[in-house]
Amino acid sequence: MDAQSSADAERFVRLFAEYEPRVRAFVRAGLPSVHDANEVMQEVSVVAWRKFASLQDSDGFGRWLCVIARFEILKYRRTKARDRLVLDDELLATIAEEGEEELETRAREIHNLQSCIKKLPEKHRQLVVQAYTQGQSKKDLAAQVGKSQEAMYQLLCRLRHTLMNCIGREAFNGGKL
């Protein structure tokens, strides 16, 4: 593999890793089972890699990947047409269009949330991350920082409101509201 191919492969992997969870959710919405979604995602990754060189603008990678996913869902559904749980083509098209729109909205929301979390004081930022890390109970966290459970819930509630207000301002200032 030459240096250019290696750079392209790395760029593809980084972009695919960034958008894969959202595209997987999009694919999952259009198929009856996780197994079906896994099969389609495998095909999406193969097709996307084969066609990656033809992508003009990597800023549109997420939308481009959704288009590939939509065609792969349709192809998969045609092979499974005898199953009763297959969604109607018109419904799938509606879900696909909404999914593409949601992809950009969710990306903006995640960006705004990350920006707002960075604006929190360090100890509050760490607290929010710990509180919403899977497996971390609020009771244990309260004991860890020396607060009662009630005080911890009140603080987390205030921090959530602070973040929601900040996200609203970020969206408004960015012209997205």
Cβ neighbors of 160 (< 8 A, separation 6 or more) are none
Statement to judge: residues 95 and 41 lie in one domain = yes
Structural domain boundaries enclosing 137 = 120-177
- Give long-range contacts, CB 8 A cutoff, 24+ apart: 157-162: 159/120, 159/124, 159/127, 159/128, 162/116, 162/120
Residue 24, in any domain of the structure: yes
- For the four alpha carbons of 33, 89, 57 and 115, in that order, the dihedral sign comes to negative
Statement to judge: residues 24 and 101 lie in one domain = yes
Query: Could you tell me the pTM of the whole model?
Result: 0.49
| Cβ atoms < 10 Å from Cβ of 17 | 9
Q: Which of 106, 130, 154 is the last residue of a domain?
A: 106
pLDDT of residue 83: 57
Residue 66, in any domain of the structure: yes
Question: Hey, is 124 helix, strand or coil?
Answer: helix
Rounded CA separation 69/111 (Å): 24
Residue 113, in any domain of the structure: no
Q: Which one-letter amino acid corresponds to residue 171? A: A
Mean pLDDT of each 10-residue bin along the chain, 177 residues long: 74 91 88 90 95 86 91 88 62 72 77 89 89 78 88 90 88 59
- At 100-135, the pLDDT tens digits run 777 777 778 888 888 899 999 999 998 888 888 767
Number of structural domains (the chain) is 2
Rounded CA separation 19/16 (Å): 5
pLDDT of residue 2: 63
pLDDT of residue 176: 43
State the residue for tokens 């099969």: 39
Contact 27, 44 (CB under 8 A): yes
